[in-house]
Chain A
Amino acid sequence: MELLDQILPLVQKPARYTGGEWNAIRKDWDKVELKVAFAFPDVYEVGMSHLGMQILYFIVNSRADTLMERVFAPWPDMEEKMRECNLPLFALESRRPVRDFDVVAFTLQYEMSYSNVLNMLDLAGIPLKTSLRSKEHPLVIAGGPCAFNPEPLADFIDLFIIGEGEEAIGDFLDIFRDGRRRNLDKKDFLLEAARLPGFYVPSLYRVEYGKDGGILKVGPVCEGIPEKITKRVVRDLDKTPFPTCPVVPSTEIVHDRIMLEVLRGCTRGCRFCQAGMIYRPVREKKPGTVLRQAAELVRHTGYDEISLTSLSTADYTPVRSVIAALIEEHAGRGVGVSLPSLRVDSFSVELAKEVQKVRRSSLTFAPEAGTQRLRDVINKGVTEEDLMAAVGAAFQEGWQAIKLYFMIGLPTETVEDLDGIVHLAREVLARGRKAGVPRGRLRVTVSVSSFVPKAHTPFQWEPQELLAALKEKQAYLAGRLRDRGLVFNYHDTGVSFMEAVFARGDRRLGAVLEKAFQLGCKFDGWSEYFHLDRWLESFRQAGLDPEWYAYRRYNYDDILPWDHISAGVSKRYLVLEHRRALSGITTDDCRTGSCPGCGLCPVLGVKPDYAGGDYNAPLPDTVQ
């Protein structure tokens, strides 16, 4: 009997490791030239909820010369059995060891999955460091939002793809195949790859440090390698491949529904938000494309829910007519529509009302900050009136539970802003009572996370607030959010601290990651597995100070660890936005017609693409 079948009865949720799901693609191993393992550094239920994986799986498996299989981080109970039985990390489709593949491609969705990247390489029997691997080993590549500051993983990843993967994966596979045919060794292949747009080979860049620990200089080690790596971007969302035969898991996953992307990018310009900066410009799918893809997805998956995904679906120009058309076409067969997130306004509540026949779940709004002053600082274009109108409409329509998301530790925050959170929560509660929601049913959940400054945002120069101060603020709020019907949730400050370190970290942190892996760090995004003490010990052993990274305030003329990676948005724009933030001046969404001058369109040769057809010519980078 196969070794795996001996182990599976002993672990939780064995369906995570079996493969064989509907629409999974198992190609003939011997008839395909290139084998790629797509590695998601978290557990199956999380990884399978990731649309990017489904997109790349579809594109790569559509090529005759290539196959892509999936691999996820085994849950610790499975890892223990695998190590006990010497079963190396394997891919789900062929059950072959990951080390037999030509390429292992990680997606980096959040910093706290880095320990899992190392742990998975180790479980696969692949040397962790790029310097210890030759062409006998798989090439280890990575992409995703965290690749916009790839430096902490520079020791481990051979090649990063910056920007939108579907745009670059074809080029990568072509040159990799050609390199194979010419029998190039790894070093020569990487030299060639580094010349392509959006391809970053960290080993071909040297970083020099100054006496204060800051960066003096970053540059390529030889000629012909670009100084700056600019992200890849899809130009036309209607023409880019989108899978309408996604893998349908046989076990329940986090987002267990059709995920249909209707637009990419968000230009609201919230100053803390990395996604809003790195996924520019806004590109909307035409309604016809959305409806056609929805019909195919329903037929090919059997799901009973279509989630219209994006960073802000209420902003999708034809959202109302598309929802109406989807309901008309699919509701009769018991297939519903859902929206993953709502804007803080009554329009969003109307949309939610249209899609939700039964008020089963709560509605979530994210005012992010407690006072108008601070919301202006972060450019969250939401007023207290907006919020009250939204929750008023929600209670009126029969919802009885509201969730509110806030952040603490934002730049310039004072105790008044914390009081503002308490005030808003109580106001929402009062609105619910006034609307006649029964006391026992009325629930307002206040969820508070700690601000983490991220690369490529206007707040990239800002320090994170001290861990002790964040804890005090949490306690302050906990002491006040006690009214009947209020529920207060907050995030582990230790996790946010580590997230801040790696979000703005440099490549010296590779040593810390390696120590942390050796000390058993894994699944750090899961509170039951996060151990701050192990991380602090790793820093001690590596001789580095985590506070220096998390609490450092950078100057505008400092060289930032990720300055050689370009998201297309100009640094001058980020500086301007940072200054406007500190002065409490808001900036318009470029949808409104006034171009904020982020500089992206002229640099990338792109323009916003609205499904409604109207579009305002972006200005060249006019920021002075």
Chain B
Amino acid sequence: MPRYRIQYSKKGPACYISHLDLLRSFERAGRRAGLPLAFTQGFNPHPKISFAAPLSVGMSGEAEYADIELTVAMPADEVFHKLSGSLPEGLRLLEVRPVSDHSPALMTRVDRATYRARAKLSHPLDQKKLDEAIASFLARPEIWVERKNKAGGKKMHNIRPGIFSMSGKSENDIIIIEAELKAGSYGNVRFEEMLAAFQENSRLPVCERFMLSRTGIYASRGQEKEMLW
């Protein structure tokens, strides 16, 4: 069946839409748009929409990806125009491209993601100090964080191998931290846990909760990241 890959952003009120609700939101948007959505068979049919990687509730996404299957082929432009006008506030379609039937599932291609965190500082921070803090954080051979599993148990994980890069910027009373982290089904590092580990280490004068966004999701070729198209 014809498959389309969409790139979209999820910001503002939409960044609080949970993963499950997001599926429902796209389904309803698709129906409003008059798109011939394809459904799974069985007792509880659901639309064939799959996302590249779930996004934490509250984090915005600047360039997210999903695959949508239709029952009837139509030009990608037409899918774009129909769906664009039917999305709730905060969900914005950026691009639609057709995907060949044989291309692997979107989720299996995901290898890494880039993130940005932004927060207010209680007092100005010297850029050099910030750079040093990051350098010393990255210089650690191992960075252990605690994760809860579903059963309620706790387990320690070393996230250092999953941190590919990290940088920071301090301007007046604002701090911005960016990072490229391992994503996907194996070795995934959550940006929140990396930030917490960094904060614990560096004790920067951040006076509010970080505003988080995922700025991109990528596949990889060798050591390089590659677009998910």
Contact = CB atoms under 8 A, between A and B. Distances in A.
A20 B13 contact: yes
A20 B28 contact: no
Given A251-B21, A302-B86, A360-B43, A20 B27 contact: no
Contact of A302 (B32, B43, B211): B32
A18 interface: yes
Interface in A1-35: 1, 5-6, 8-9, 13-15, 17-22, 24
Interface string A249-263: 011100000000000
A416 to B, nearest CB: 43
B175 to A, nearest CB: 12
A19 B13 contact: yes
Nearest to A247: B88
A8 B45 contact: no
A301 B43 contact: no
B31 A302 contact: yes
Contacts of B43: 358, 360
B21 A300 contact: no
A15 B31 contact: no
A14 B27 CA distance: 21
B28 A302 contact: yes
B208 A6 contact: yes
A20 B16 CA distance: 11
Given A8-B58, A19-B13, A250-B21, A24 B89 contact: yes
Contacts of B86: 22, 302
B61 interface: no
B184 interface: no
A251 B18 contact: yes
A94 to B, nearest CB: 13
Nearest to B87: A22
A315 interface: no
B58 A14 contact: yes
A333 interface: yes
Contacts of A13: 18
Contact of A301 (B28, B30, B58): B28
B29 interface: yes
A45 to B, nearest CB: 12
Contact of B16 (A8, A298, A299): A8
A302 B57 CA distance: 23
Given A20-B14, A334-B45, A252 B57 contact: no
Contacts of A18: 12-13, 16
A21 B18 CA distance: 14
B25 A250 contact: yes
Interface string A216-260: 000000000000000000000000000000001011100000000
A386 interface: no
A8 B29 CA distance: 25
Contact of B31 (A5, A19, A304, A360): A304
Contacts of B168: none
A22 B88 contact: yes
B92 interface: no
Interface string A265-305: 00000000000000000000000000000000011111110
A-side binding surface: helix, strand, loop or mixed?
loop
A299 B32 contact: yes
A302 B14 contact: no
B12 A6 contact: no
A550 B37 CA distance: 55
A288 B28 CA distance: 25
Contacts of A358: 43
A229 B12 CA distance: 46
B18 A20 contact: no
Given A6-B209, A334-B39, A20 B24 contact: no
A302 B18 contact: no
B120 A15 contact: no
A14 B31 contact: no
Contacts of B120: 1
Given A6-B208, A302-B86, A251 B31 contact: no
B17 A250 contact: yes
Contact of A5 (B28, B90, B211): B211
B72 to A, nearest CB: 12
A298 B119 CA distance: 42
Nearest to A303: B28
B203 to A, nearest CB: 20
Given A251-B18, A334-B45, A302 B13 contact: no
A252 B30 CA distance: 17
Nearest to A14: B16
B88 A250 contact: yes
Contacts of B89: 19-21, 24
Contacts of B44: 360
Contacts of A6: 208-209
B88 A21 contact: yes
Which of A14, A19, A335, A358 has the most CB atoms of chain B within a 10 A radius of its CB?
A14
B20 to A, nearest CB: 8
Contact of A248 (B17, B28, B37): B28
A333 B119 CA distance: 46
Contacts of B12: 18, 20
B177 to A, nearest CB: 15
Contacts of A8: 16, 58
Contacts of A15: 13, 16-18, 21
Given A248-B28, A302-B28, A20 B211 contact: no
B28 A22 contact: yes
Interface in B26-61: 27-32, 37, 39, 43-45, 57-58
Contacts of A304: 27, 31
B36 to A, nearest CB: 8
B115 to A, nearest CB: 15
A248 B86 CA distance: 12
Contacts of A250: 13-14, 17, 21, 24-25, 88
Given A18-B13, A334-B45, A360-B43, A1 B211 contact: yes
Nearest to B31: A302
A511 to B, nearest CB: 40
B58 A9 contact: yes
Nearest to A5: B211
Interface string B58-93: 100000000000000000000000000010111000
A17 B57 CA distance: 13
Given A1-B208, A1-B211, A358-B43, A14 B28 contact: no
Given A14-B57, A301-B32, A360-B43, 7 more contacts: A1-B119, A6-B209, A20-B13, A22-B86, A303-B28, A335-B31, A358-B43
6 contacts: A250-B13, A251-B17, A301-B28, A304-B31, A334-B39, A360-B43
Interface of A: 1, 5-6, 8-9, 13-15, 17-22, 24, 248, 250-252, 298-304, 333-335, 358, 360
